[in-house]
Each structure stands twice: as structure tokens, then as C-alpha cells.
Homo-oligomer: A and B are copies of this chain.
């Protein structure tokens, strides 16, 4: 059966041009070609195999990661890959490694916060990997609250050095990836003290290990913080612990782009506007949003293909059984996630634009859009990572028992993904930031401050509070404006209702604390509106390819109406729709599911994932699931011997015993 495409009949059903959809998904012809080429390169290289990954013990797994990282570096150099290609290659290797932090956090931190001089000194070393660095911010006692970090950097004018010190147990650096066993250097965040005065938290380049024999430098205690969620998953990463016992570094290793300590120990701000750091935050978070769409689409691809292969019940007279993808409950769980993957893709694309826009404005000293851009990326990071984490687990459940096997790929995908809800800003802490921005925007409405960007709709708050949907039959919900206005009206109503409740408190901060659970919901509603509106905007564009745009319209409808159904209480409370209109939306949703059904396989084929990248027997392109599941099973170490280790010692004596005392 090798070589047979068991899903060919599904692929033939598709009513749109998959090749065009691949380009839409990738974002451009160039992006498609790049991903396609590099993912095949990785897939065909035996060093990058990963099917055995979850069976490796921690040390073997870590060694395997070092091997892959070295090989990736070699390939990048041998093939003279560009920076973009190199990034893609590491991405498709798909195994968290110290290099992620070196390239993704250490280098950008120096670029973002180092002076020109510092960049000239350190970046070439980092680019050539003559030093390897990590990003050491979080401590045992403080993550979300960066201002609470306890590590100190005290300037000693006598020697022109900073003394880096961990004064308490809770000040131990804790979590930085790449720190535990590999990094030679770190950007360490510490409380700056000069002349007995504190000046807040700043970054310092600190060497941790000898470049000769890799042993920790005097005063440095460093190690790995232990196993994390899952087998495989993030255990390939050496998240680390780090303590300093009065470690001295030269003054010029404080990252001094925004503020400096002079030779005399004077703390001064530079002329570079601090707001520039927001640019980096927008950058990092836009990456997280597009990674969310990638992770979610991967899980959806596996669950969709397997749902078309899996048959259960419904055979009449010994005939063939129903594909589980034909069950409406299966569709109602799966298709909204498929739609979300596409929705997140497009909002990620829009964030690329936003990033460019913000950067250009920053260069022109225009900070007017910054607060809104910052809030909106924070919110989208929170929304998309939460939905993706839950969505991966739902996809696993959609695969029934077999989804629980590591060979399904889903357990590891979940385990490796979930920390995205926590790092780069805990999702609830971020939602509250968004809510703060919204409340501020609402409170300033009277003062003539016109809200802009993603909060522009709040400018029409009066009309929105009056808005009554005119939907009369199910298909009316296909009208983009019907959807958009309802989402705007809901978000506006929630904001205003919360603002009113807030105004009852004499102490606004107390009010904010008391109502924060509601405020988080307001923020979610606002972010969902952003995603819906960016999807609708995408559909305004010219999208070539037979049936491609129509499919995206269907998915957009699924995304929006699924949310409307899920949060119906908001919409009804806002008064913008009636219960009858709510049930029409649900009716329309059912009909959209039927339209997705014949296109489902092609819609996940459009992600263009190799079987290597998917890493799932259930999600194989050819649908040849059962023989391969069977094959995989026998590779487990337990199957190396017929009689397992421990049997003779522990089980045989029981089987052979003559029980005297048992009461059972």
C-alpha cells in the first residue's frame, strides 16, 4: 500500500485551487518558496529525524539537540544561507535549543539596548557564535513583575566595574533558555545601584563560563532547572538557574543605549527616546502571533486528516462506516479551530504591517500610535496563544484514544507550546494591560481625544450602543457589515459597562482591581473584534485562484459566528442582537460547516507541511495511518525484550506464590 494516497478522494472534492491557497497561507510567493525549499531540506536530512525524540532520556535528548544545532549551523554555513533562510532552517528543525535564545533574545537585546560601540564589539562575536548568549531576566521570585527583580549591579568607582550579585535565594535567575548548560554569556537584568542610589532595572552583558574549558567563572553558580512538561518538548532546552557571588564586570558592559553610568558613577539618561524599546516588544509579539497560527494549524492538520481516515459507526448492512469528520459534533469542534488558524495567520500578517508602520513613525519621532499598537499586540499575543494552547489539546481529543500516543505528535506539540501563554507576558497580565488602555480610551472620549487604530470604533460609541442588528434570515449573517457591527457593538458595550462600574469607585485603582475579572473579558472581546475585522479586511483584497476567496469567506464566517455563539450572552446583553438573531447565526454556522467539509483536507494541505515537520503518524499526508501506527509501536524500548526488565524480580514471585495470609 506504500505510495497510495488514501486521502485522494478527499483531495478531489475540494472546490478551490490549493496551490493558490498555499501562497495565501505563506503570505507571498517568495515566502512559500522559501518555506517549501527549506522544509524539504530539513526533512530529507537524517540528522534532523525526530520520530525517536520522546523515547530519549534527558541527557540523550540534550545531546541530540546539540548535535542538531551544530549540524544546522554547518548546513547554514556550507550552503551559504541568508539570515532569513537560516532562521527558517532552525524553525523547521523544530526542536527548542539554546540557539533560539542566542539568535532570538541575546542578539536582539544587544541590538536594541546596546550603544553603537557595544554593538560593534559584541555582535560580530555573537554572529559568528564565538560566544553564545542567553537572556537572563526572570528570577525565582519574579517573572511578571520585572521591576521587582532582586539581582543587583552595584557600581564600584574604585575599579570602574559593576558588581553583579544575588542577594537572596529568590534573586536566583531562573528559566532563561540556553543558560543551564551552554551559554558562555548572558544579558543579565539587574537593579542598578550607584553611590548607594537605586536606578531601576537595566541589562548587563556578563560572561558566565570560560571560553577555554566551559567551566563557570569564579562567583558564578549555574545549572539546569530540571524536567518540564512532556517527553521531548521543551526538555531539549537547558532552561537554567544562575547565581552571582559578587561577580565583577567592566563598566562598559552595561547596555547603555538608553541610560548610562559615567566613569564617576553618575547615572544619566541618553538622548535616545526610551519609547524605542516598544518597537522590540511589538516585534517579538508579532512573531508569537504568527507562531500561534503555525502551531494551531499543525494540530488542525493532524486532526483533520485523521478525522477523514477514521471511521466509526454508521455502517448499514456491513457497509463502510462513517468518517468521523462527517459527525457534526466533530465539525463543530474542529472547523472553528481551522478557521482560527487562518484568522490568526491574517492578523499576524497585519501585525507585520503594524510593526513597519510603528518603526517608521518612531524614526520620525511620532509616538502617537505607540500606546495603541502596544496594547493591541499585547492583547493579540494573549488571545492567540490561549486559543492555540486549548486548540491543540482539543485536536488531540478529536483523535480519540490514538491522539494520546506520542506517535500522534499531539502530546509533544501541546507540551512544547503551552508556555507561550506564560512567557513574553503572562496572558492575564497582558489582558489587564489592554483593559487599562481601553478604559483610558473610553474615559478620554469626552475630551475630544479621537481614538485611533484598533480602538477607532470607540469613537462611535454612542451609535454602537444604539446599534440593533437588522438580520432577518440566516444568510444575512454572511454580510460582512452585519458581523462587524455586532462585534463592535458588543466590545463597545462591554467597555462602557465596565467604565460605568469603575466610575462608582472613589479610588480608581481599587475599582480596577475589584473589576479586573470583568475587565479581562472586555479585553478579550476587543481582541476578537480586531481578529474579525482584519480577516474581513483581508477579504477586501484581490485574492487570485479559483474558489480561494470564497473558501476564506466561509472560514471568516465560521470564525465570527462561532465566537458569536460562544459569547452570545455578551451580544444579547448589549442588545445589539436578539435571541432570534442569535439562533439564526447558529443556523448559518451549521450551514457553513457543511461548506467547509468537502474542502477540509485541501484547506489543511494548503499549510504545505512536510510529514517530517508535522511529526505525526495520524496526520500523514497519505493517510496511511494504521500500518504506520502498528510499525511505530514496536520501536518502544519496552519491546526490546519479550519479558520486561523487573519481571523475574517482581512479578514472577507473585504469580508463583502460595498466599497464606491474604484475606482477599
A144 and B400 contacting across the interface, CB-CB below 8 Å: yes
Tell me the minimal C-beta distance from A185 to chain B in angstroms. Answer: 11
Distance between Cα atoms of A411 and B211 in the complex (Å) = 36
Contacts of A448 in B (CB 8 A): none
Contact A329 B432 (CB under 8 A): yes
Given known pairs A404-B419, A590-B514, A661-B78, the reply for A181 and B227 (CB within 8 Å) is: no
Rounded to whole Å, the gap between the CB of A642 and the closest CB of chain B is: 6
Q: In the assembled complex, how far is the CB of residue A355 from the closest CB belonging to chain B, in whole angstroms?
A: 22
A-B contact pairs, 11 of them (CB 8 A): A77-B659, A148-B321, A223-B638, A224-B633, A226-B406, A228-B405, A229-B414, A229-B415, A230-B411, A396-B418, A569-B570
Min CB–CB distance A120 → chain B (angstroms):
16
Query: A234-276: which residues lie under 8 A (CB-CB) from chain B?
Result: 234-235, 238, 241
Best-buried of A140, A215, A234, A431 by chain B (most CB within 10 Å)? A140
- Asked if A517 and B328 sit within 8 Å, CB to CB, the answer is yes
Given A224-B638, A646-B62, A517:B332 Cβ within 8 A: yes
CA distance A312 to B141 in the complex (A): 8
Which residues of B are found within 8 Å of A213, using beta-carbon distances? 643
In the complex, chain B residues whose CB is within 8 Å of the CB of A311: 141
User: Could you tell me how many residues of chain A have their Cβ less than 8 Å away from some Cβ of chain B?
Assistant: 153
CA distance A517 to B169 in the complex (A): 52
Complex alpha-carbon distance, A456 and B169, angstroms: 60
Closest to A225 in B: B633
Any B CB within 8 A of the CB of A4:
no
Q: Are A663 and B80 in contact (CB under 8 A)?
A: yes
Q: Are B226 and A635 interface neighbours, CB within 8 A?
A: yes
A540 within 8 A of B: no
Contact, CB under 8 Å: A626 / B141:
yes
The reply to whether A182 and B315 contact each other, CB–CB distance below 8 Å, is no
Instruction: Decide: B227 and A230 in contact? CB cutoff 8 A.
Output: no
On whether the beta carbons of B230 and A329 are closer than 8 Å, the reply is no
A interface secondary structure, majority = helix
- The 3 A-B residue pairs with the shortest CB-CB distance in the complex, in nearest-first order: A568-B569, A63-B646, A332-B517
Interfacial chain B residues near A181, Cβ < 8 Å: 638, 643-644, 647
Cα A358 to Cα B528 in complex, Å, equals: 48
Please indicate the chain B residues that have their CB under 8 angstroms from the CB of A650 in the complex.
63, 66-67, 69-70
Let me know if A404 and B422 touch, CB within 8 A: yes
A191-238, CB < 8 A from B: 211, 213-216, 223-231, 234-235, 238
Contact A404 B418 (CB under 8 A): yes
Q: Which of A94-129 contact B (CB under 8 A)?
A: 127-129
Q: How far, in whole Å, are A447 and B238 apart by their CA atoms in the complex?
A: 68
Known: A180-B638, A415-B230. A626 touches B140 (CB 8 A): yes
B635, B642, B654: the one within 8 Å of A73 (CB):
B654
| Interface members, chain A 51-73 (any B CB < 8 Å) | 54-55, 57-59, 62-64, 66-67, 69-70, 73
Is A651 at the interface (CB under 8 A from chain B)? yes
- CB contacts under 8 Å to B, within A636-657, are 636-640, 642-647, 649-655, 657
A401 at the interface (CB under 8 A from B): yes
A329 to B521, CA, bound (A): 10
Residues of B within 8 A of A421 (CB): 397
Task: List residues 122-143 of chain A with CB under 8 A from any CB of chain B.
Answer: 127-132, 138, 140-143
A59 touching B637, Cβ below 8 Å: yes
Q: Chain B's nearest CB lies how many Å from the CB of A54?
A: 5
In the bound complex, residues from chain B placing their C-beta under 8 Å from that of A229 are 230, 404, 406, 411, 414-415
